[in-house]
Structure 1
Amino acid sequence: MYDTNTYEDPLVLDPAIRARWTFLETSSAAAVLRAVCPEEWRDITEVLGAFSLDPIRWLKSGGNRGDIAQEIDRMFSERGWREIRVDLSTHGVLIAKNGEVVDRLLPMEQEGYLVDNFKGRVALDVEWNAKDGNLDRDLSAYRAWHEAGVISAAALITQDRLALKELAHRLWAAYQDSLPVDQRNPRLPMDLSTSTTTNLEKAALRVRRGVMGTCPLLVVAATQATWNGQPYSP
C-alpha cells in the first residue's frame, strides 16, 4: 500500500526530473496522477522540471512562507491552481428495509484548512520550512478528502534537510572565504540546526506508520541536485 516506486518508471516520470528530486510515494501515487489526473500531473512535472534552488532566495530568513515556497506556489498559480479550503459535511440517513426514509441525522461538519494548491482532484502543499506538525494536519486531511471522494491523490513538496544543510554550509563557507577577514560571519542567515521543521525525513516517518490509508500521496523533496549550481553572492 505504501512505499511504492512508480515514479521510477520513465513512462510515468521523465528521468531528468527524477534525477533532480528525491521521491517517496504511497499507493502508486505517480502512476495514479499520470493516469487519472493527466492535466494536473503535467503541471506538477512542469514545475519540478522548471524549478531550480537559487542560493540567493534560499539562504535567507523567511519562515515557512519564505521565497522558496512562494516561488513554487506562484508557478502552480500560473497554471490555474488555487489556494482553497476544503470542508466536509457528512449526512446520515436512516432507511427502512422497504426503502422508506425513517430519519435524517444532523450533518457532521468537518472544517478543513487552506491547502496551498488545489486543482481538479489533486491537493498539493508546499511545506518548505514550517513546523513539522503541519504534516500531521496535511496528511490527515488528504486521507479524509480521499476517503470522501474529493481527491484522487495528493502531493507534498518539501526538502531533504540533511542534504541541503550540507550544501548550505558549503556555499556559505565559500562566500565567506571571498570576503575580507574582518567582514566574515560564520553564521548562516537562516537556522538549519532544528530538526522540527517539515522535511522528507519527517514526512517519511508519518507515511511509514500507514497514516495515509489508501490515499495515493507523492512526496517530492529538493536535494543538492535541485540546486542551480550558482554560488551564494548577494
Structure 2
Amino acid sequence: MFETHTYDDPIVLDTAIRSRWAFLETSSAAAVLRSVCPEEWSDITAVLRSFSLNPSRWLKAGGNRGDIAKEIDEMFCTRGWLETRVDLVTRGVLLSRREEVLSELPEMRQEGYLVDNFKGRVALDVEWNAKDGNLDRDLSAYRAWHEAGVISAAVLITQDRLSLKALAEQLWAAHLTSLPPEDRVARLPIDLGTSTTTNLEKAALRVRRGVMGTCPLLIVAATRATWNGAPYSAD
C-alpha cells in the first residue's frame, strides 16, 4: 500500500478544511474523488467545512451510535446520501472455444452491510467511538466493492483519539470548577480511555498493512482544531 497526500494540494482540498481535520489516504483518494466524483466531493468538503465539534453534544453519553455520528450522517442525508446495503452477485458462465455457452454456474450472492452513507460511486462511513472491529468490516467491504467496480473511492470519518481525549479532559476540568464541590465528578461523562474504539490510529494500522489493495480510501479524523471553541455545558 502506498500512502499518498493529494489532500495537501490546495486545488484538491481547501486549506481551511485541511487545517481543521487530520487526513490519511491511499491511492490518491482525494484527487480521485475530486476528478471522478465531483458532486460527491463537493458534498464531502461542504460537510467538513461546516461541521464543528460541539462539546455539549460530543461529551454526552449516547446510545447506539452517539450524537456526533448522527449529526454528521444527517448532514449527508440532507445532500441526498442514503444508508445503503451493497450486495455483490457473481454469475459464472462456461464457454467453449467458439464462445458457445456450455453451462451456467449457480449464482453466488455476497451479502453486504448497511453503509452509513452512499451516493453515486462513493461509500462513506462515520465510525465515531464504535468498536474497532467495525473497521475490519468497513475496509474489506470497500476493497471488494472497488474490485467489483461498484465504487470509485471510499471515505471514513472518525476521530483522532489522543488529541480529543486531551481536549475533553481540559473541558471537563473547566466545567467542574463551576460546580459545587459535592457535585464534582472527576470521571468524564463518556469513556475516552479505551483504545479499542474506532479512531484514526486504529484505522491507520489496518490500512498500512495493505488491506485496501488498489481502492482509494480517504480517512478524515476530527482533531482539537475541529472543536467549535465552546465550553462544555450539561444544559
Q: Same fold (TM over 0.5)?
A: yes
1:31-58 deviations in Å (ceiling 9; x for gaps): 0000000000000000000000000000
How far 1:94 moved relative to its partner?
Answer: 0.9
1:75-114 matches, cutoff 5 A: 75-114=75-114
Name the counterpart of 1:65. 65
Partner amino acid, structure 2, of 1:18: R
Q: Does 1:27 align with 2:27?
A: yes
1:156/1:219 contact within 8 Å kept: yes
Aligned-partner residue type, residue 189 of structure 1: P
Q: Which residue of 2 aligns with 1:192?
A: 192
**Post-superposition shift, 1:63?**
4.7
Runs of 4+ in 1 over 2 A off after TM superposition: none
| Segment drifting more, 97-106 vs 112-121 | 97-106
Residue pair 1:85, 1:115 contacting (<8 A) in 2 also: yes
Any residues of structure 2 matched to 1:57-206 within 5 Å, and which? 57-63=57-63, 65-206=65-206
**Contact kept? 1:64, 1:128, Cα under 8 Å:** no
Q: Equivalent residue for 2:41?
A: 41
Aligned to 1:213: 213
Amino acid in the other structure paired with 2:43:
D
Which residue identity lines up with residue 65 of structure 1 in the other structure? R
Q: Output aligned runs, 1:48-59, within 5 Å.
A: 48-59=48-59
SS at structure 1 position matched to 2:186: coil
* TM-score of the two chains, using structure 2 as the length reference: 0.98
Could you state the TM-score of these two structures normalised by the residue count of structure 1? 0.99
| CA shift digits 1:117-141 (9 cap, x unpaired) | 0000000000001100000000000
Q: 2-side partners of 1:134 and 1:43: how far apart?
A: 24
Percent of aligned pairs with the same amino acid: 77
Q: Partner amino acid for 2:166?
A: E
Counterpart of 2:52 in structure 1: which amino acid? S
> Residue 4 of structure 1: CA displacement?
0.3
Distance in 2, Cα, partners of 1:199 & 1:61 = 18
Contact 1:64 1:129 in 2 (8 A): no
Measured after TM superposition, the shift of residue 2 of structure 1 is: 2.7
Q: Deviations over 1:16-36 (max 9, x none)?
A: 000000000000000000000
How much has 1:11 moved relative to structure 2? 0.2
- Alpha-carbon deviations, 1:192-226, whole Å to 9, x = none? 11111000000000000000000000000000000
The residue number in structure 2 matching 1:2 is: 2
- Segments of structure 1 that go 5 or more residues without pairing to the other structure are none
